[in-house]
Amino acid sequence: MALKIGKIEIGYRLFISLTAIAIAYGYIGAHLCTLWRTDDYLGIGFLFTLVIVAIFAIPQSLGGLLAAIAAVIIVYWQTPDISYSLVAVGVCLGLYLVNFQDLRYDPRPDQKLSIREIVATLITIGFMVQVALLISKNPVSWINTGIIGAIAGAITLIGKQLIYTDMPQKTIWKLLGLFTLSGLAIGFAIRVFIYAAPKPLILY
């Protein structure tokens, strides 16, 4: 089963992972709006730089598992209730198992990591940590921790899924850019709407 986006055809499992990444960018877009309203231009510059470099880093990263572990640690740190951490782990593993058949085992025991792969891995971990912290600012719920787990699972999978589509590298950048920047814009727009919505009048 495949979905067609313009001239690009992708499997539904890859679509699930891309959607989870888009949701992560949506949270970041919402936070960028908050920083914009408070004139925190330094924060905007840092966060916007991170989300742009992450688009290029995530497909090349070998640290998806480390990023997922970091996300679960943050969930436990923010909400020291093991049940929420288990929800994040369960959703992450569930997404991984659903998408497992998209992956191929490609052992490289004698090949050292390149500088590019190391940098991409560090950026991916930093991106996942930032997203998990942003989502954790919301009231604790099964939904929020489940979303963190889904994003963590997608981060673990998305690089290999994109590579194994056998699409040209330029097409991969376009596809990932479409989902990530769309998520960023939607998150920003939703937060703008929330701030612009009239507040209820409270009479004392």
Residue spans per domain, the chain: 21-103+113-195
Per residue in 99-119, pLDDT tens?
A: 766 565 455 555 576 788 888
Among 103, 89, 65, CA closest to 150:
89
Q: Greater confidence, 130 or 141? A: 130
pLDDT for 109 equals 52
CA 9 to chain centre: 21
User: Which tens digits make up the pLDDT trace of 121-136?
Assistant: 899 999 999 999 999 8
- The confidence band for 203, taking pLDDT boundaries of 50, 70 and 90, is very low
In total, the chain counts a number of residues equal to: 204
Confidence of residue 5 (pLDDT cuts 50, 70, 90): low
Query: Under a CB-based contact definition with an 8 Å cutoff, are residues 72 and 153 in contact?
Result: no
User: Per residue in 25-35, pLDDT tens?
Assistant: 999 999 999 99
Residue 40 gets the label, from left (phi > 0), alpha (psi -120 to 50) or beta, of beta
> In terms of Cα–Cα distance, which of 15, 32, 7, 25 is closest to 158?
15
Q: Kindly report, residue by residue over 175-192, the tens digit of the pLDDT.
A: 888 999 999 999 999 999
Any idea what DSSP says for residue 8? E
Please give the backbone phi and psi of residue 174, each rounded to the nearest 5 degrees, phi first: -60, -45
Q: Please tell me the pTM assigned to this model.
A: 0.87
* Three-class SS state of 175: helix
